Amino acid sequence: MLEGKFESASLMKRLVEAIKDSVKLCNFNCSQTKGITLQAIDDSRVLLISLKLDPGCFEGFRCDKNLVLGLDLESLSKVLKQGNNEDYLTLIAEDAPDNLLVVFEDPKKDRISEFSLKLMDIDSDVLSIEDMDHDCSITLPSSDFAKVARDMRTLSESLQILVTKDSVKFMASGPIGTGSVIIKAHTDLKDGKESIKIDLNKSVNVTFGAKYLNDIVKASTLAETVTIKLTNKIPALFEFKLQGGYLRYYLAPKFDE
């Protein structure tokens, strides 16, 4: 039996909103030691999502037997919208489940709502992603990155990212003209989360599809900062750290013809 209780429903609500536009059907893997993990690839095979919710992400977590919960994220989103952000959220499944039980309790315990969601058999490819060495790592406020990704998409379908020792340059070029945004490394002593950190082994020049970057920045509601790991000509990693877990996106680059 699986019983995972979140201190507040808002984490799951934000997670599902962040990924449901990229992937529709996902297998949630549940185990006592690993908690809940998920790997899903978008239909175009360009963007991969990897989620880890350690047992420590939960107020209470119990999973007697490893389980795979195949869920339609559209449906899960509909159910999660029924609960308030500050409600307790508990996910419950039997050992060979046909359904996932989703229970919301308001903190005053005078309202309990229960939903049963049908599970699906989902046949999906799982890719083996080893820890990669990257040419550079950038950590910046997730809202800053979201703004650049959204703004630059209005200029072009592609966003070029150039990283040097102390700055990151985002460039877009399209039918109406060109644009660039330069972000410089700095340390904010008052608020560390506002700092911009660049670790560089080698300068990087990579291009990504703006559409995918706009999907990725939907996760900026989950973490105040995002870490972007880039290497020339290989997929980039975008990581949003959660308390006791992470949401990672791997994005295949675009190459010049």
Partner 1 sequence: ASNQTSLMSFFGKK
Q: Which residues are near partner 1 by CB under 8 A?
A: 41, 44-48, 125-129, 158, 207, 209, 234-235, 250, 252-257
Shortest separation between residue 44's beta carbon and partner 1, angstroms: 8
- Least gap, CB of 170 to partner 1 (angstroms): 15
- Joined together, the tokens standing for residue 103 give 């229970």
Q: How far is CA 182 from the centre of its chain?
A: 25
The residues that bridge with 183 in the sheet, in sequence order, are 168
Q: Nearer Cβ to partner 1, position 176 or 189?
A: 176
Rounded Cα gap, residues 180 and 178, in angstroms = 7
Nearer to partner 1, 8 or 37 (CB): 37
Q: Are β-strands 60-63 and 112-118 bridged in parallel, bridged antiparallel, or unpaired?
A: unpaired
Sign of dihedral through CA atoms 9, 13, 14, 16? positive
Shortest distance, CB of residue 160 to partner 1, whole angstroms? Answer: 9
Taking the least distance from each CB to partner 1, the nearer of 41 and 185 is 41
Of 47 and 222, which CB lies nearer to partner 1 in the complex structure?
47
Q: Which is nearer to partner 1, 43 or 110 (CB)?
A: 43
What is the number of other CB atoms lying within 10 angstroms of the CB of residue 52?
17
Shortest separation between residue 255's beta carbon and partner 1, angstroms? 5
How near is the Cβ of 41 to partner 1 at its closest, in Å? 7
Burial 5-32 (b: 16+ CB within 10 A, else e): bbbbbbbbbbbbbbbbebbbbbbbbbee
